């Protein structure tokens, strides 16, 4: 084992002498710190099941202002102390059970790394204690490493899985405080890469996003409602906390019934914005705020429909996961 980056880069770390301690692999460790790299400097980092201390030492190396190492194994504590030897930083090592550590910890922590033995099932209890004691910073993460057969299950209200990454049989969940729900309403006839740009923007500020198919019986669509829902579902299947639903009535009514108070709308030009503003004023009068996003790629569903009719190559406009379904559905209409 080694320190990957920072002031201790390349430092060799002593490894456990037996299989009772399973250190986080360098590949997984590097991925975790890539995710949090812009927030680790000056942070408080709690390494709850420290084992060798590798994760906490990596945090110190990258500029964490305080690290708390904790483990209830005497052998692990010896290993952690041996790996910390010579380091002049703000850290503390506790030989305690995770419950004792969480109930005695003070203040808010930016990152709480949780890597218990894979056979255990502590995460819900850990999250509950963290919530009750208000230990997690508003923009912080509980970083939970576990085997792929271990599911997180229902988290305490107010917490959600913001990100997830898998490495073979190892899964890392980034659990954060919930930042609310929003929707992206449209006809999606069909969904395009431009729609996904808006989705990515919405996910920067919200934990849960609904792709909302606003259906108007008086409007003519190329694809049926069921087909459009299938395209959307295929396009977002790789996203966490994104669902697809149908709105039969007013968008503001659906959102009110589902605890959503904002809706995202993409605009390509001034003409788009003028049209969308009228709808935004209507929705705001009913308690639904509209957030406008300038389209990164000015791709419209009408452009795709025109391309299909002309026999053009429209694959570059569609989410890769939905291309086959869109082409198949269109061919069946000919």
Contact 246, 231 (CB under 8 A): no
Domain boundaries, the chain: 26-177, 181-331
Average pLDDT over residues 318-330: 96
Tokens 């419950």: give the residue: 99
CA 21/CA 15 separation, integer angstroms? 9
| CATH match of 181-331 with 3.40.50.620 | yes
131 versus 248: which is more confidently predicted?
131
CA 40/CA 197 separation, integer angstroms? 27
Of all residues in the chain, the percent with pLDDT exceeding 70 is: 98
Average pLDDT over residues 247-267: 93
Confidence of residue 238 (pLDDT cuts 50, 70, 90): confident
Confidence of residue 263 (pLDDT cuts 50, 70, 90): very high
Confidence of residue 171 (pLDDT cuts 50, 70, 90): very high
Question: Cβ contacts of residue 306 below 8 Å, gap of 6+?
Answer: 312
Confidence of residue 130 (pLDDT cuts 50, 70, 90): very high
Average pLDDT over residues 156-164: 88
Asked if pLDDT for residue 59 goes beyond 70, the answer is: yes
Q: At what angle do helices 323-331 and 225-235 cross, to 10 degrees?
A: 160
CA 118/CA 149 separation, integer angstroms? 9
What is the predicted pLDDT for the residue at 19?
59
Average pLDDT over residues 247-270: 91
Q: How do residues 100-129 score in pLDDT, each as one tens digit?
A: 999 999 999 999 999 998 778 899 999 999
178 versus 228: which is more confidently predicted?
228
Confidence of residue 193 (pLDDT cuts 50, 70, 90): very high
Write b or e for each residue in 213-251: b if 16 or more Cβ atoms lie within 10 A of its Cβ, otherwise e.
bbeeeeeebbbeeebbbbbbbbbbeeeebbebeebeeeb
Q: What's the token pair of residue 73?
A: 């194994």
48 versus 18: which is more confidently predicted?
48
CA 84/CA 66 separation, integer angstroms? 14
Helix, strand and coil in the chain, % to nearest 5: 35, 25, 40
Confidence of residue 21 (pLDDT cuts 50, 70, 90): low
Question: Cβ contacts of residue 166 below 8 Å, gap of 6+?
Answer: 148, 172
Average pLDDT over residues 234-262: 93
What is the predicted pLDDT for the residue at 20?
59
In terms of Cα–Cα distance, which of 51, 174, 22, 153 is closest to 111? 174
Contact 276, 265 (CB under 8 A): yes
Confidence of residue 207 (pLDDT cuts 50, 70, 90): confident
Do you find a cis peptide bond into 190, omega within 30 degrees of 0? Answer: yes
Burial group, residue 88, by CB count within 10 angstroms (0-12, 13-18, 19+): exposed
| CATH match of 26-177 with 3.40.50.150 | yes
- Number of neighbours of residue 38 by Cβ within 10 angstroms: 7
Instruction: Give the side-chain half-sphere CA count within 13 A for 224.
Output: 7
Confidence of residue 58 (pLDDT cuts 50, 70, 90): very high
Asked if pLDDT for residue 216 goes beyond 80, the answer is: no
What is the predicted pLDDT for the residue at 269?
79
Question: Cβ contacts of residue 53 below 8 Å, gap of 6+?
Answer: 13, 47, 69, 79, 80, 83, 84, 93
Q: What's the token pair of residue 334?
A: 């000919």
CA 244/CA 267 separation, integer angstroms? 21
Tokens 């429209």: give the residue: 314
Burial group, residue 199, by CB count within 10 angstroms (0-12, 13-18, 19+): buried
Q: What is the residue-averaged pLDDT of the chain?
A: 92
Asked if pLDDT for residue 17 goes beyond 70, the answer is: no
Question: Cβ contacts of residue 36 below 8 Å, gap of 6+?
Answer: 111, 141, 143
Asked if pLDDT for residue 322 goes beyond 70, the answer is: yes
What is the predicted pLDDT for the residue at 48?
95
């Amino acid at each position: 084992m080694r320190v990957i980056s920072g002031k201790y880069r390349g430092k060799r770390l002593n490894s456990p002498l037996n299989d009772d301690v399973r250190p986080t692999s360098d590949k997984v460790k590097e991925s975790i710190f890539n995710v949090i790299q812009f927030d680790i400097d000056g942070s408080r980092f709690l390494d709850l099941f420290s084992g060798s201390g590798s994760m906490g030492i990596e945090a110190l190396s990258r500029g964490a202002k305080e690290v708390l190492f904790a483990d209830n194994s005497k052998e692990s504590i010896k290993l952690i102390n041996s790996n910390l030897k010579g380091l002049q930083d703000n850290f503390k090592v506790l030989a305690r059970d995770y419950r004792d550590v969480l109930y005695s910890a003070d203040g808010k922590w930016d990152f709480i790394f949780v890597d218990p033995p894979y056979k255990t099932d502590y995460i819900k209890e850990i999250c509950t204690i963290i919530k009750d004691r208000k230990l997690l910073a508003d923009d912080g993460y509980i970083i939970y490493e576990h085997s792929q057969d271990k599911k997180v299950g229902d988290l305490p209200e107010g917490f959600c899985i913001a990100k997830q990454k898998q490495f073979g049989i190892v899964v890392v969940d980034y659990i954060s405080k919930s930042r609310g729900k929003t929707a992206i309403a449209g006809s999606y006839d069909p969904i395009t890469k431009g729609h996904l740009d808006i989705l990515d923007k919405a996910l920067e500020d919200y934990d849960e996003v609904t792709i909302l198919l606003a259906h108007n019986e008086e409007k003519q669509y190329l694809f049926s409602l069921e087909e459009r829902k299938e395209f959307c579902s295929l396009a977002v299947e790789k996203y966490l906390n994104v669902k697809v639903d149908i709105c039969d009535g007013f968008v503001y009514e659906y959102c009110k019934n589902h605890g959503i108070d904002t809706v995202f709308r993409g605009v390509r030009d001034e003409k788009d914005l003028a049209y969308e503003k009228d709808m935004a004023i209507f929705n705001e009068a009913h308690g639904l705020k509209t957030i406008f996003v300038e389209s990164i790629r000015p791709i419209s569903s009408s452009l795709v429909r025109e391309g299909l009719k002309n026999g053009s190559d429209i694959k570059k406009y569609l989410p890769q996961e939905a291309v086959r379904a869109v082409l198949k559905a269109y061919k069946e209409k000919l």
